[in-house]
Structure 1
């Protein structure tokens, strides 16, 4: 049973990380397209530089909390926790 839970937890972490990366790529693409079109039809000013990083940081903090909970519950080992944390913070 613990093996099954560990597998489910890993899948959840990977899926969460993939979602965060996908969202980041989408925001980057939208920013590039907006820059090519003169900041878009409806916005006469360039997008704020700090705005995209705030949701990214919020997502990372939430994922770190989830990883910590999984470690506390014994679903992730300390080594698995550290590896997932490293991957998350490098993304």
Structure 2
């Protein structure tokens, strides 16, 4: 019977040691993974803060406001009527204003 008690005590000691070691390893790994997760979260947050605003869509050529275009054409017509611009100059400037 003393051999049986010794065997049970020995098994209990081994199992206890194994359990303690296993618990330490699990805690160490959990801490390691938690640290890695925290670093990943910090990197994502930093990347989010550094994110560049999307570029603006360029306006189409000749997309000036209607009032501005009309005023330029009126001025151009007045200059032609006064004789300051020739028909060719008027046509060239008109094409520039209208985008064509």
Q: TM-score, normalised by structure 2?
A: 0.38
Larger Cα-atom Rg: 2
Q: TM-score, normalised by structure 1?
A: 0.42
